[in-house]
Amino acid sequence: MSKENLKIYTDYIEKAGSRIDVFRAVKKEFRIKSVLYPGSYVHITPSLIFSELTYIDSDKRANKFFSQEDDILDHVVKCKEYMENPIIRFLPGDYQSPMEIRQETVDLLISDYAGFVSLHTKQYLKNGGILLAGDSHGDATLANSDPDFLFLGVLKFKKGQYRFHNKDNESYFKRYRNKSVDIDSIMKTMKGPKYSNSADYYIFLKQVGNNE
């Protein structure tokens, strides 16, 4: 990777973390091949774990970063943790606008510090696909209120790594003193509420038509 791109990437990792152990935990638990990452900026770490990635971001710096295709591919090939040849695609623009992606073709949708990804891009996720969502912007809460998604469990950091847990799902998304969740407020503030039990990452299954 060129010095310029390497600095952009390492600066991001130093600030936000690589989160590679998060993606390892998801891959260990679910069969994932194709991944969509809206609001990715230059976070190419998922390509070290999953072989097919489509990144989306409107930031001009991300567009410049991903324009160095051979540079990025060389880095991924050297560091990837799978046998297949990596496929990397970058789409510049706002993920809330229509994208050149076939609907219901993606195995995993990543929502992390990027707004309401589950709301605006769920049409690209396969029925039976997985949503990985944080709640810093309230997207996990939004997904939990969406009948198209079924809450499967959380990723918990334990003994030096993230692991999937689904033993106490009923304890999540509950507010103190049973206070209600105001979805309208979350939509306006883009901030997840405080819960009596919370996690860094929440896992959902897309199951359109199976919630009756």
Task: Note whether 164 and 105 are within 8 A (CB).
Answer: no
User: Looking at residue 99, which CATH number applies to its domain?
Assistant: 3.40.50
- The pLDDT of residue 210 is 55
- The pLDDT of residue 166 is 95
**H or E element that contains 87:** strand 87-92
Q: Structurally, how many domains does the chain consist of?
A: 1
Task: Note whether 206 and 149 are within 8 A (CB).
Answer: yes
Give the pairing of strands 201-206 and 125-133.
Answer: antiparallel
Residue 161: give the domain boundaries. 3-206
Mean pLDDT by 10 residues, the chain (212 residues): 83 93 97 97 97 97 94 94 97 94 97 95 97 95 96 93 94 87 88 90 88 44
pTM for this one? 0.94
- The pLDDT of residue 209 is 67
Q: Which residue has tokens 């999540």?
A: 172
Establish if 211 belongs to a structural domain.
no
Establish if 181 belongs to a structural domain.
yes
